[in-house]
Structure formats: structure tokens, C-alpha cells
Structure 1
Amino acid sequence: MTYDIAIVGAGIAGATLAAALAPHASVLLLESESMPGMHATGRSAAFWSETYGGPGIQPLTSASGPALRTGGFVDPLGSLHIGRAGDAGAIDAMLTAFAGSGVDLRRVDPSGLVPGLRADWTLGVAEPSCAYIDVAALHADALATARRGGAMLVTHAELSAATRQDGRWSIATRAGGFDATILVDAAGAWADVVAVRAGVAPIGIRAYRRTLVQLRTDPPAPAGLPHVADISGRFYFKPEPGGRLWLSPHDEIPSDPCDAQPEELDVAVAIDRFEGVVDWRVEAVERRWAGLRSFAPDRLPVYGFDPAAPGFFWFAGQGGFGIQTAPAAAMLAASILLGHAPDQAVAEIDPGRYGVSRFVR
């Protein structure tokens, strides 16, 4: 059979898009791994923050909030952006950037909010709306919704080539051949690779490694601790069950698309930065892992048909924000693919801001 739409990549992007499309079109979801979500989706630090990613990402994040809350995929967390005296300009710039956006941001004294905070961390901005995201539940729900709508998931199906003739794509994969009218590139770090294999010019999506560690500390991380982020972007950490802590050095190390692994140096840098923030003792590094974040050249996501490649649709470049923006991104992309009016939740978002035509190739 010829599917209406074939989506390459069954991580959070491809899964939520398939769920949005399946009631209206025949959908094929192709996953190169043995199960969906093994890379960026399964390695996320998993929080919803309307400031994370900046003003260009915020409309997508804010529009995703109601769906995440209604589905029961988020729990309260709160975020605290901290800085030292020299960071006053960065604090002011953040507040200015989100003025009028509807995001609730408040100047606070951070000393009473983080036990053991070192004395030089004197500046703070609270973001009360920040929340945990249950990524596994969100991803599983999207895949289940897609299946109920009739979407077909095929794993071990790395795309090796795709050619277009007579208005349809012939798609060659390790799992066999498939046909589709529209080919959607939701391949994350591999988005440009998939495009080239389909004979489409790449747009310069680059992958970057991000490191995370789980720490056991003395004292244990208190349950009421918010997500804590350096205003200058050098670290963030957040509490986990059992008094554990998830910590990242907020690194972005250029990488080829791969099964990313943490580097010892990056783990050491994360701990060194953490110890400069609080007077807690690190008792053990219990886990360490890394994932890939993929960005277009202007660091905004890419949603839309390629003007030079009929039937080829980009759904890529979500950076580290793909999970917190997934519901809105899927609604927006589905409306373009189906030619439908956008869902009310995203009706005020201009899809042209994320279109492919902004890249000169």
C-alpha cells in the first residue's frame, strides 16, 4: 500500500506527530532502532520551562502546557535562575526578553531557596511554572494514540534511500521497502543524513552532546528544591526521588550523529561547577549519560515542506526543547501537513517563523 505520510524517526517528535495525524491519514512511522526513543527522547532531563530556549521557543512551550497538564504528564517543580554580582546584566536581559510574554518571572533572594548556597550567589529569578515532565509516559501515550488511530510502527527500519516519482516516495529501509505520498524527516540528530539519502539538500542541522549525572550528596537534595540554573548557562541541577540530584554542565559539544556517551572530563567539569554553587559534599556519581541535541543554524526548530523537494517535510532541529514543545509542535505541523486550520492552542503562532524557506541553500 501507499501510505499518505511516512515519518522517519519515532522519538517524541515523530510519535506526537503520528498521534496527531493518524485519525486523518494513513501513517507509517519508521524507527531505525529496536525501540523508539533510545536517543534524545530517552535521555532528557525532562522539565518544562517557558524560558528554556529563549523567546523564539517560548510560544511553543507555553502552548504545550495545557496538553501536558491535561494529560497528567507534568508535576510541579519551579525553577530558580541564579547569578552573582557580575551577572546583573544577564538577569535584566532575561526579564526584558520575556516582558509581556505572560511568563511569570519574579526577582528573588536565592539564599533562602537553596540550602547551603554559597554567599556570592546573590541574584535570583524565580519561574514558578516550571514543571517535571514524565517523558516516558508522554512518549508511550503518543505511540499508543498513534497505534489506535491506525498508524503503523516499524522498528529496525533505518532509511537507506528514498526516491520520488509520480507523486510518491519509494523508501528503502533495513526492514524492507515502503511507499508514501509525503515523507516527514523527524530524525533528530540524523535529520540532515535522512535528507541527503532522500536526495534533498541539507539545511545545516548540527548535533551537540549534553552530559548528565545523577549524584548522591551530603546533605541529600531536599524534595522541595527547585530546578536551579545558572543565568550564564554553565550548569543546571534538579532534585530526584530519594534525595538524588540530576546535574548537567550545560555543555554543547559538537558531535556526529551517534549513540552519545559521557566523557569523564565533562562529568568532572559538572561536579566542579556544582561545588562552586553549594557547600554540599558529593558522595557518589551514581549514573552518567549523554544525549544529542540537534539545532538548525538559527537555533529555531524547522517545520514545513521543503520548497525545493516536493512532498518532503522537515520536522527537526528541536534542540533540547523537543519534549517541552512536543504537543504544540505536533499540532502546528499536522495542520500544515493536512491543510487544516490549526488547533486553537497554536492558532496565534506563526508557522512561517519555523519554515524551511528561511534558509538560503
Structure 2
Amino acid sequence: MQSCDFLVVGAGIAGASAAYELAAGGSAIVLEREEAPGYHTTGRSAAQFLESYGNDVIRAITRASRAFYDAPPEGFAGHALLSPRPSVYLAREDQLDDLADFQKDAGADTAALTAAEVAELVPVVRPGYAAAGLIEESASDIDVHALHQGYLKGLRRRGGQVVTRAEVTAARRTGGLWQVETAQGTFAAPVLVNAAGAWADTLGRLAGAEPIGLQPKRRTAITFDGPEGSDCRAWPLVADIAESFYFKPESGRLLASPGDETPMEPCDVQPEELDIAVTVDRIERATTLKVRRIAHKWAGLRSFVADKSLVIGFDEAVEGLFWLAGQGGYGIQTAPAAARCAAALATGTDLPDDVAKLGLTAEAIAPARLRPRVLA
């Protein structure tokens, strides 16, 4: 039996980043069911850093992550984690109220665009489609692979380890310790961190906890060549204000998605042909782009709870079970601050000052908020 202070289940971005922070003050082991970390959602994400994205809780954790992205620890990555890429949001005439609401609630620096300014910034938008728009200049691409590998390498430098092919088959608490059985042996720790992504409720039930209502949802993406003779590498991300589609440059091509959120059971999700067809249709209706050949297609799971905020904190009914789940589509951009929050709460301390100053409370992210209250 291997023992540690913190046993983390899931080596995606949530588990890797939390284990890295926890290993600064204790021993940490990460259990990963797949052959390599990041096989599922993390490895399929082409993430943006968008301070306007999500609800108030998500935006606060995102803003608190900015300092890490701008200046990661020495040796964390060999190059910058962020690359500037402004985001342009489009609104048809019937979406102008939605555009105004978005700008009011964005919590980030955005500037209004006229239809003519949209056309100048994004010439491929079909004439007459956009009545107005917004631009978020501070948005950036995130190097997801470098971020994830930086956390895993940093964890190992701090004495932690990642054990792959270690799907959890049983978890029981005895004598103040969790004993977790896997194909790679039995592991023990006083704190079990549930960072199992789409499988977080499955692991929670195995540990004897009530579910938090996690719902995995499929998101589809394709890549295709840009217009012949054009260099699209410097284009902004372009999104419909209702997120019914978006596209952005990606590795010399264009990446596009219909913004789908189809409820699924946890699985190794694959793209559906209908969703791919919808993607192409929406892009070609809104722009003059032609998707003549799809270079690559894939899907990933984004797992949400009812209020679409993160779930970070100890289970109120199961001793030593710590939840780190519900990252939805925000897990990459929030990872640095979410990991620090997790490490603080898992070690019995308050949220980091910089996060608390942005209005975040432990109660707003605690699993207890999702459980029905029993009235006396």
C-alpha cells in the first residue's frame, strides 16, 4: 500500500494543477485511469483566456488566474502560456439586446463595434449578417499542452507522482484514512480529491457521497483550411453572441464549433455527423468561408452542475472527500486560481486573498450548495 497526504483522482488539468499546489506542503499522488494524463477533456481543448466568459464566480476565478498566466513560476514552461488573440462577438439585428446584456455583465474590458467595424476586423463575415459587435482585446490563446505539462512536471519536482492505468475500483474510509483500490495497487491518504472530470459523480458514489448533479455535455469541433491565398493566423476568435458558433485560427487552419452542449453519459466521446453538418452550415451562413474539406474532427465532454460554477470543497457528509469538479468549459482558463483555492480549502485555510478580494466565497463553490436542504 502506498500512502500520501493527498490522493488525487484524475490527471487532467484540474487534478494536475491541484496536486501541484498541494505538493508544495505535503505528499501527493495522482491516479489516472487512462494510459496518459489528459486523454479526455483536457487533451481535446483549444482553450481561450476570456475574462468575460461564464458567470460571476467563473469570471472571478479567471481574473485571479491572470497573474499566473502572465508570469508562471521559473522553469514552469519553455515559452509564454498566453498568445494574444482578441475575441469578436457578433450580433444580428434580433440579438442586439443580448449583446448589450453581455457587455453590461462581461466584467472585462470590451468595446462596442459597428457593423462597418465588424466588417473591417473580420472581412469574411457575410455582408448584412452582423448588425453590431463587441471586441475583447485582452483575450488570448492558451497553450493547453504547455500548461498541463508544466503542472505535471512541477508536481514531480515537488516529489509527487502520477500513476496511470489506475482506475479506481473501490474506495472506503477506515481509521481516518481513505483506502483506494486500483489495478496498480492500493493507495491510502486522509484526503481524497475527486478531480475525475465527467466521472466525478461516479467516483463520489463509490466513496459513499450523494451526487452533485454533474452533467457531461458533448462539444464538437472541426478544423478546415482558410480561404486560398489568405493568411488567417492573425485573425481574432469570432463568436456569435449566443455561442451558436465560433471559429478561430488553429495550427495554420481554422477551428470551428457549433457551441453544442448535448447531454451525455461519461464516455470516450466521439463527434456526431449531424453536429459536424450543423457546424459547417452555421459557419457558411454567417460568413463567406467555404468548408471544402474537414481536416480533423473531434468532440470532448464539458461537465456542468446546475449553476455552472465550479465545485471546490469538502463533502459535508463524507469525511475527507474533497470535490474538484464541474469545470464545464472553463477548466483551463480557471486552473491556476482554482488549484490555489483547492489547496487552501483542502488544507483547512481560507481562500487566497487575491481571490477573496474579487468577491469569491468558499460557500459559492462548496458542494453543499448543490444538495437539497432538509428543513427541521
Q: Same fold (TM over 0.5)?
A: yes
- Whether 1:35 and 2:1 are equivalent positions in the alignment is no
Cα shift readout 1:292-340 (whole Å, capped 9, x = no counterpart): 0001121111000001001000000000100000000001111111223
2:145 is aligned to 136
The equivalences for 1:1-361 within 5 A come to 1-71=2-72, 72-98=80-106, 101=107, 103-109=108-114, 110-118=118-126, 119-219=128-228, 220=230, 222-242=232-252, 244-348=253-357, 349-361=360-372
How many residue pairs match? The answer is: 357
Question: d(CA) in 2 for partners of 1:5 and 1:295?
Answer: 25
- In terms of mean alpha carbon deviation, does 257-266 or 338-347 score higher? 338-347
Question: d(CA) in 2 for partners of 1:31 and 1:241?
Answer: 28
Question: d(CA) in 2 for partners of 1:136 and 1:344?
Answer: 28
Question: d(CA) in 2 for partners of 1:121 and 1:138?
Answer: 35
Question: d(CA) in 2 for partners of 1:117 and 1:295?
Answer: 32
Tell me if the contact between 1:111 and 1:122 (Cα under 8 Å) persists in the aligned partners.
no
Question: d(CA) in 1 for partners of 2:353 and 2:285?
Answer: 45
* Unmatched segments (≥5 aa) in structure 1: none
Question: d(CA) in 2 for partners of 1:315 and 1:255?
Answer: 20
The runs of at least 4 consecutive aligned structure 1 residues that moved more than 4 Å come to none
Question: d(CA) in 1 for partners of 2:316 and 2:361?
Answer: 18
Question: d(CA) in 2 for partners of 1:155 and 1:145?
Answer: 17
Change in CA separation of 1:341 and 1:299 when aligned onto 2, cut-off 3 Å: closer
The one-letter amino acid paired with 2:62 is T
The alignment's TM-score, normalised by the length of structure 2, stands at 0.92
CA root-mean-square deviation: 1.3
* Unmatched segments (≥5 aa) in structure 2: 73-79
Tell me if the contact between 1:186 and 1:314 (Cα under 8 Å) persists in the aligned partners.
yes
Tell me if the contact between 1:218 and 1:283 (Cα under 8 Å) persists in the aligned partners.
no
The one-letter amino acid paired with 2:66 is G
Percent of residue pairs bearing the same amino acid type: 43
The one-letter amino acid paired with 1:164 is R
Tell me if the contact between 2:258 and 2:275 (Cα under 8 Å) persists in the aligned partners.
yes
Structure 2 SS opposite 1:333: helix
Tell me if the contact between 1:218 and 1:282 (Cα under 8 Å) persists in the aligned partners.
no
Tell me if the contact between 1:4 and 1:182 (Cα under 8 Å) persists in the aligned partners.
yes
Alpha-carbon distance, 1:174 to partner: 1.5
- In terms of mean alpha carbon deviation, does 6-15 or 107-116 score higher? 107-116
Alpha-carbon distance, 1:356 to partner: 1.1
- In terms of mean alpha carbon deviation, does 113-122 or 27-36 score higher? 113-122
Alpha-carbon distance, 1:27 to partner: 0.7
The one-letter amino acid paired with 2:37 is P
Alpha-carbon distance, 1:158 to partner: 0.4
Cα shift readout 1:122-155 (whole Å, capped 9, x = no counterpart): 2101001110000000000000111111112110
Question: d(CA) in 1 for partners of 2:295 and 2:320?
Answer: 46
The one-letter amino acid paired with 2:365 is Y
Alpha-carbon distance, 1:221 to partner: 5.7
Structure 2 SS opposite 1:324: helix
Alpha-carbon distance, 1:175 to partner: 1.2
Alpha-carbon distance, 1:42 to partner: 0.4
Tell me if the contact between 1:171 and 1:177 (Cα under 8 Å) persists in the aligned partners.
yes
- In terms of mean alpha carbon deviation, does 185-194 or 198-207 score higher? 198-207
The alignment's TM-score, normalised by the length of structure 1, stands at 0.96
Question: d(CA) in 1 for partners of 2:91 and 2:111?
Answer: 14
Question: d(CA) in 1 for partners of 2:278 and 2:123?
Answer: 22
Alpha-carbon distance, 1:341 to partner: 4.6
Question: d(CA) in 2 for partners of 1:296 and 1:308?
Answer: 19
Structure 1 SS opposite 2:124: coil
